[in-house]
Structure 1
Amino acid sequence: MDAVEGAAGLAHVLREHELVVGARVVLRHRLPDGSASDALGELVAADEASLVVATRRGEVRVRRGDVLAGKAVPPPPRRRGAPHEALSTDELEAVVAEHWRPDERVDLGGWRLRAAGGFTGRANSALAIGSPGVPLHEAVAAVEGFYRRRGLPPRVAVPHAAHVDPDEPALARELAGRGWGVDTPTLVMTAALAALPGAAGVPLPVGCSVASAPEPDAAWLERYHYRGTTAVPPAGRRVLVSADAQVFVRVLDGGGGTVAVARGSASPGWVGLTAVEVAPSHRRRGLARRLLAEVADWGRARGAVSACLQVAAANTGARALYGAAGFSVHHAYHYRVQHHG
């Protein structure tokens, strides 16, 4: 029987929607003698008859009729430390990307070319992780063509160690030499979910209450203003519900008005925090801390063990809030954008 990290709790769990080619999965399956075994690894093939998992001992083909349980599992750690610290920069970027999926994704080697009508940089940039599988100049040309055909500015997300100057990575130097500018330096922060405060420990101001739902309602959408926008476009609404699961949390004042919002999202082993916004009239009252705690509780209830978020490097207030709650910087990234005229 294969050694299975993360297989705990697998019995009787069959998440068909997670069993997609390219995902890291664990399958419990029936053997000819009636016993059961687990296959852990990348799902490399799937059809109506069988599933093929590339394990450390070789490929294992499992007839669908023999599958007892199955689900996606987090990537294996490559570095020592707690799960939220052990993944490499590229590995964590791949995790975080599953919390904010675009309408369209085209892979170029390890790079992910993403488009969603221009709503957010994350959903409308080429995530440069791993190798593009072609010479760098060809990769850049492919990125340019992809975004121009969609009427979007060519944009590349360049991940790097937090202590590294944004101009240091080879890709950044290549793009800078072509005149691509820097946009939105960002930090990726992680935490052990068990260390984050729960809602019971973060009281609300008198008269306030919390409401949560699996989809954003009109009140949530009205409070959320991405970069000052007054309305979330249709593409944005699709991105907001693009993760494996999500929760939309609102804080209501005494009159029932929505004064703060946040979104929680899930991927195997992880909970993500995005779209945190508090009305100016209600800031410095602990509402953001309560939103974070609500999302943390939701993640713990789903069995997650780690949390992640992305915050603009210039947003010192938010960085202080997350740091005080238990988050630490894992790595950084920034966008390189091709501007014309």
Structure 2
Amino acid sequence: MSDHDTILSLESRLMNAWPAFDYQAYDGWILRLANGYSKRANSATPFMPDAKLDDNLIDYMIVRFLDANVRPTFRLTGLQDSSVDGMLKARGFTEIEPTFVLTAPMSGDCEPDPEVMIEPQVSKRWVREAALSYGGDKADDATLIQIVSRIRQKAAFATLSLDERPVAWGLGVVERGYVGLYDIVVAPDLRGIGLGRRVVASLMAWGCREGAHSAYLQVREENEIAVSLYRTLNFTPTYRYTHRVMPGGA
């Protein structure tokens, strides 16, 4: 499998696992919109090898973003033509948030942690608690529940409780041999003691039971603690992406 094939394979699973509200196709690019909640669901992403941009297409997509009150954002995965990054840079688009897409083979352990509750459907409580622990822009539980309620693949909503207090959460989505891991979050006062690892391992075990041979996730390069955690679970970088965002926002 070529690098482009690998990226397309994982990007298609990512798009299904984290649905947007609106999809628009433009000459090898998919523009997604979801009320501004998360860049992966509110950006234009190349969806064919060597996808190109020109000034007219950039201008057209900028208007689509602004009409939706979303900051124009291009998510560059390596599928795009080599000229794209320089073209956006020349127009003042700023590069932010370089991110790894990591993958790991299944270890063969298909037994989730017994203290991690895994539910097949999202609950208002899961969304409320996970969003609250995220805080900041991701505290918008109303938009989060709209996104995860649109998932059409088999999903697992994980909650780890200590002494009956929910303290860590995560989402797994399985599709065609891969389990994608999303929204891994731990209560702010309990971070750094291995709770996130337990949720990740349990979602991987769930994926193993559902027939997955590999897991994938995304993590910002600057998040060295998370990168180190995932390395201990045998995750390695498969590709990386960056974002080019228009200065000044929407």
TM-score normalised to the size of structure 2? 0.87
Structure 1 residues 311 and 135: CA distance shift in structure 2, 3 A? closer
With 228-237 and 328-337 compared, the bigger mean Cα shift is at: 228-237
| Structure 1, gaps ≥5 residues long | 1-77, 80-84, 162-167
Q: 2:20 and 2:62 mapped to 1: Cα distance? A: 18
Q: Contact 1:220/1:258 (CA < 8 Å) preserved in 2?
A: no
Q: 1:253 aligns with which of 140, 162, 165?
A: 162
Deviation for aligned residue 1:281: 3.0
| Structure 2, gaps ≥5 residues long | none
With 309-318 and 132-141 compared, the bigger mean Cα shift is at: 132-141
Structure 1 residues 298 and 241: CA distance shift in structure 2, 3 A? farther
Larger CA Rg, structure 1 vs 2: 1
Q: Which amino acid aligns with 1:299?
A: G
Q: Deviations over 1:209-248 (max 9, x none)?
A: 3222123324322332345247434332121233312111
The alignment status of 1:147 with 2:82, answered yes or no, reads no
Q: Contact 1:90/1:159 (CA < 8 Å) preserved in 2?
A: no
Percent identity over paired residues: 26
With 282-291 and 111-120 compared, the bigger mean Cα shift is at: 282-291
- Residue in 2 that maps onto 1:313: 221
Q: Contact 2:110/2:206 (CA < 8 Å) preserved in 1?
A: no
**Number of aligned residues:** 245
Q: 2:37 and 2:218 mapped to 1: Cα distance? A: 16
Q: 1:287 and 1:319 mapped to 2: Cα distance? A: 15
Q: Contact 1:157/1:334 (CA < 8 Å) preserved in 2?
A: yes
Secondary structure of 1:224's counterpart equals: helix
Secondary structure of 1:98's counterpart equals: helix
Kindly indicate which of the two structures has a greater share of residues assigned to helix: 2
The alignment status of 1:336 with 2:240, answered yes or no, reads no
Q: Deviations over 1:78-121 (max 9, x none)?
A: 24xxxxx8943333222322211101101113211100111110
Q: 1:302 and 1:143 mapped to 2: Cα distance? A: 39
TM-score normalised to the size of structure 1? 0.65
Q: 1:213 aligns with which of 105, 119, 122?
A: 119
Q: Contact 2:7/2:239 (CA < 8 Å) preserved in 1?
A: yes
The alignment status of 1:112 with 2:30, answered yes or no, reads yes
Q: 2:39 and 2:204 mapped to 1: Cα distance? A: 25
Which structure 1 residue ranges, 4+ long, deviate > 4 Å from structure 2?
A: 131-135, 196-200
Structure 1 residues 269 and 130: CA distance shift in structure 2, 3 A? same
Q: Which amino acid aligns with 2:66?
A: R
Secondary structure of 1:151's counterpart equals: coil
Higher normalized contact order (CA 8 Å, seq sep 6+, divided by chain length): 2
Q: 2:4 and 2:49 mapped to 1: Cα distance? A: 21
- Residue in 1 that maps onto 2:55: 137
